[in-house]
Each structure stands twice: as structure tokens, then as C-alpha cells.
Structure 1
């Protein structure tokens, strides 16, 4: 996941592998290994350097959706109300986590279907 995110953002920013590695102060081969998921666990220091050069927050590299670098959307009032209703009805945060897999699947389906 992190390698794919770095690769996609690097391409969108117009950096070559060599340029990003040089600017981040890391070896080109090391960056290549990260992008190809040969090294799936780079140090936080390396991730921080890459994020700085790419001009994104570290979380844009760490989470599954590389498009997270865009500005967050304002909260929809309906969703805020829904969350308050859940809370008022006694649903705890950890109970909501049980549905995370289902929500991820729905997001994946929407993305696959072009957001419909």
C-alpha cells in the first residue's frame, strides 16, 4: 500500500525515481524497493522525508487511498446527525469498527463503478 501510494503521488508530481530519491536523501534502490513493495516497512524517518519532498502529509502515504492528499471535504450535516443518533442510542466506537470491512467493500465497489 505505501509503495503504491508513493509511486502514484510521485508520478502525479512529475518526479522521476532518481529525483525523489535524491531530494529525500535516500538511495534510489531503496526507494525502488519501497515502491515495488519489496520493502513494505520503511522507517518513519524515510516516510517523513518522502512526504516532505512530495508535499503531502505522511498519512497520504500510509493510508490505502492515495487521493487522501486532497483537502478533506466538509462534513455532511446528515452524516453528523447520523453519528449523533448512533451515539445517543448507545452505540460505542468499537462497535462501529465491526462494520469497517463492510464500509471498505462499499467504497471499493463505488470506486470500481466510477463513483455511482
Structure 2
């Protein structure tokens, strides 16, 4: 889950929640709720801030099995473009679902 990955990455960087909050500008209570999986669907914007604060690619936080090294640069560009335009994870998933249904 996202919260477990955020916590693991934060601990690997030897950062406290307070330190990560200071770096990212995200409230420490919010980061804590993500790590404890209370906030199970944080916005992509918040996750992008956390990824930057942890100095990892956003995909490292988002993906259970993939690392940014395994994703080609065009996919990374498209993901960044989607984030920059404000596309949410739910909207992206809905698009994929609709697209898959049309192809059946």
C-alpha cells in the first residue's frame, strides 16, 4: 500500500515525519495518516510533494512492483503531464476502465 511505501522510504532516508513535513510543506498529521493507511487515497499532488521530499520518482510511491527505472521515459512524461493537468488517480483509472470496455 502507498502508506507502507511512504513510511519505508522515509525511514530509509532517516527522516522523521516532522522532518518530511518541513521539507514537503505537507502537514505531519496528514503524512502520518497516509503512513497509517487512514488516508488511503491521497491526491497525486500531495504524493508528488512527498516523492520530491524523499528524492524518489513518484512511481516509486505509486507502484507496488515497478520502479522508475523499469518505466520508459515516454510513460514517465505522460504521467507527469497527467499530474500537471490535475488528472486524479480515480479519473485515470476510470479512463482506463472505459477504454478497456470499448476494446472488448
Q: Report TM bin, short chain.
A: 0.5 to 0.7
| 1:15 matches 2:15 | yes
- Per-residue displacement from partner, 1:36-69 (whole Å, max 9, x unpaired)? 0000111111000000011110010011148x36
Supply the distance in 1 between the matched residues of 2:55 and 2:38 (Cα, whole angstroms).
24
Unmatched 5+ stretches in structure 2: 71-104
Q: Is the Cα–Cα contact under 8 Å of residues 5 and 65 in structure 1 kept in the other structure? A: no
Q: Which sections of structure 1, spanning at least 5 residues, go unmatched?
A: 73-116
Structure 1 residue runs of 4 or more that deviate by more than 2 Å after TM superposition: none
RMSD between aligned residues: 1.6
Q: Partner residue of 1:5?
A: 5
CA apart distance, 1:27:
0.8
- What TM-score results when the alignment is normalised by the length of structure 2? 0.62
Q: With structure 1 as the length reference, what TM-score do the two structures score? A: 0.56
State whether structure 2 residue 30 is matched by structure 1 residue 30: yes
> What is the total number of aligned residue pairs between the two structures?
70
3-state SS, counterpart of residue 61 of structure 2? helix
Larger radius of gyration: 1
